[in-house]
A and B are shown apart, each in its own frame.
Chain A
């Protein structure tokens, strides 16, 4: 097993997300499939990788009257998705998180959490390495080896040395997120993945310990969460052609401050620590993408053998919270092709320490 990564681990989209370990509340109403995935994976990760998680919970808060109507649908949907909720009075919410807006009208507690993306990825890869996987960072796939119609490997350039080599493989898994289309095209395939960027802003000061969500259907700037001594406000959404370099629209940045400030007023006057953007891989077609956010946040595994290109599987979509589930589905398909009948153990195998990744 070899994992090939173009840069440092998590230098793509996964590293740059805000680090929200979803309880699924965000998706319960409009995208219950995603929501169920989230709460299941959240519980699994809390069990196998507590070392890289802050499990302080999250709050969904209503700021405006119309949002109160959403509350009942929210509670119902969460119950259906088996996401534990606890309703708090505005006063209780503000006691737990004094930095919240005074205009809190309703608050619901959910089991959200925070991870820092790099270390979660390293923990997974450390475990993979311990199980015999080779990880090649700073290695870029330049071509896929296609013989006949089958994919049988990849030509990889080590960017550190400039040396190219061919890695033969029984199956090549394309897990490149928003770049999935680019890699699939190397095999003449077309996958419905739309790179969809989002802006995030980090403000100095740990205003909250919990994840603060807006109690409403998903919208721009409706999350404020802590990352060490900063809070990160996210996010927005617009399709991009090239995930390699995303130009950050200043109006999106202003929107983050405005919307984030409605949840946690202190961020309006805080010192900006960072402004960054990452491209999510949304499953869908560019023509669906005008709605941006409306595309499902679930993941999908494409077994290209069905399209006449054996030896090639694409996994895309999803979010970091559900990474393990994505890997499980992909591994199931790969095992099927390879005739391996093994049982999934990742739901209960504790991950190794992220520092073990760098062990010789």
Chain B
């Protein structure tokens, strides 16, 4: 596709100060078919305005740092192609995530939610039945055993941003933390499930969710927090959670290092 110019309407918020916040329009060149939105942000920084502050690391949706609002919707710009969100002529609006402390411009501070995740704590690695077959088109169905796999959740906080309830209740644990809690109940890996259950069984925990489902709609990593919150509710009502773990935690379970 031929290159063309695109206007980026980017939120600027120096030093995270609300009083000085506002939109600025920067223009860069793009090949809408090849470029990802993150490429545009990076280009705007490199070629137009080096004072632009934004978060990014992996550029392939494994770190979750680049999450922003693209035209009002939570996305990971590193895997969002320009042509999938741009109509070809209007400016593309970029804002930082909602319900988070803005560090500057598009960058947010994830500390609060991550501290809560650490309090659970959700181990980063899980052991799964091998799911390789779903993509391989392979033959035979022998048991291919188990493999280690990172948790789907990137801790990108898109779900927290999308959650209307989190917008009104800062104490609400939120979809990220609740989904993580459900993962622990589902696969304990040596964690104290009873303690996690106590943490989420509160008015600011699972019971605050209003089934809006925005979190699952924007999650870029197949976590489906809304369904997990409902699963936690079901478990709380029926008493369905594993008793105190007696199994030995596998290596990589993330048991606290002190």
A–B direct touch in complex (beta carbons closer than 8 A): yes
Q: Which residues of A contact B (CB under 8 A)?
A: 7-11, 15-16, 19, 50-56, 94-99, 116-119, 138, 159-162, 200, 202, 205-209, 227-230, 232, 244-245, 248, 250, 266, 270, 273-276, 278, 350-356, 358-360
Residues of A within 8 A of B140 (CB): 95, 98
A-B contact pairs, 22 of them (CB 8 A): A8-B55, A15-B58, A16-B59, A19-B58, A51-B124, A51-B252, A51-B254, A53-B148, A54-B125, A54-B150, A95-B140, A98-B138, A117-B57, A160-B16, A160-B53, A161-B14, A202-B79, A207-B135, A230-B60, A230-B62, A275-B34, A276-B78
By the criterion CB–CB under 8 Å, are B130 and A209 in contact?
A: yes
Cβ 8 A contact of B78, one of A159, A245, A274, A360: A274
Instruction: Using C-beta atoms within 8 Å of the partner chain, give the interface range for chain B.
Output: 35 or more
Contacts of A52 in B (CB 8 A): 124-125
Which of A11, A94, A202, A355 is the one whose CB lies under 8 Å from B57? A11
Chain B residues whose CB sits within 8 angstroms of the CB of A266 once the complex forms: 135-137
Excluding A11-B65, A15-B63, A278-B59, 19 further A-B contacts by CB distance (< 8 Å) are A7-B56, A11-B57, A51-B124, A54-B147, A55-B251, A95-B144, A97-B132, A118-B58, A118-B63, A160-B15, A160-B103, A162-B14, A206-B131, A227-B60, A229-B152, A245-B47, A275-B34, A359-B115, A359-B118
Residues of B within 8 A of A8 (CB): 55-57, 65, 107
Q: Choose from A50, A99, A207, A232 the contact partner of B125 (Cβ within 8 Å).
A: A50
Proximity bits, B109-142, A CB within 8 Å = 1, else 0: 1110011011001011100001111111111101
Q: Is B63 touching A10 in the complex (CB atoms < 8 A)?
A: yes
Q: Which A-chain residue is minimally distant from B124 (CB atoms)?
A: A51
Which single member of B46, B63, B137, B152 contacts A244 (CB below 8 Å)? B46
A250 to B57, CA, bound (A): 22
Q: Measured between C-beta atoms, what is the minimum distance from B77 to chain A in Å? A: 10
User: B222 at interface (Cβ–Cβ under 8 A)?
Assistant: yes
One digit per residue, 1 when the CB lies within 8 angstroms of any chain A CB and 0 when it does not, for chain B 164-203 equals: 0000000000000000000000000000000000000000
B104 within 8 A of A: yes
Q: How far is the CA of A54 from the CA of B130 in the complex (A)?
A: 13
Choice from B16, B51, B111, B252 contacting A50 with Cβ under 8 Å: B252
Contact at A15–B57, with CB atoms within 8 Å? yes
Nearest CB in chain B to that of A351: its residue: B257
Asked if B256 lies at the interface with its beta carbon under 8 angstroms from chain A, I say yes
Of all chain B residues, the one with the shortest Cβ separation from A9 is B57
Residue B8 CB within 8 A of the other chain: no
B44 → chain A, closest Cβ, in Å? Answer: 10
Contact mask B62-90 → A, CB, 8 Å, 1/0?
A: 11010000000000001100000000000
Nearest neighbor of B122 in chain A, beta-carbon distance: A355
Is B149 in the interface zone, CB < 8 Å from A? yes
Q: Which residue of B lies closest to A205 (CB)?
A: B135
B42 within 8 A of A: yes
Whether B104 contacts A160 by the Cβ 8 Å rule is yes
Instruction: Give A357's nearest chain B residue, CB to CB.
Output: B114
Whether B257 pairs with A138 at a CB distance below 8 angstroms is: no
Distance, CA A96 to CA B143, complexed state (A) = 9
Other-chain residue from B55, B135, B136 in contact with A7 (beta carbon distance below 8 A)? B55
Residues in chain A near residue B124, CB distance under 8 A: 51-52, 119, 354
A202 to B62, CA, bound (A): 10
Interface string of B9-38 (1 = CB under 8 A from A): 000001110000000000000000010100
Q: Which residue of B is nearest A272, CB measured? A: B81
Which of B111, B132, B137 neighbours the largest number of chain A CB atoms within 10 Å of its CB? B132
Chain B residues whose CB sits within 8 angstroms of the CB of A275 once the complex forms: 34, 36
Of A94, A353, A355, A360, chain B has the most CB atoms within 10 Å of the CB of: A355
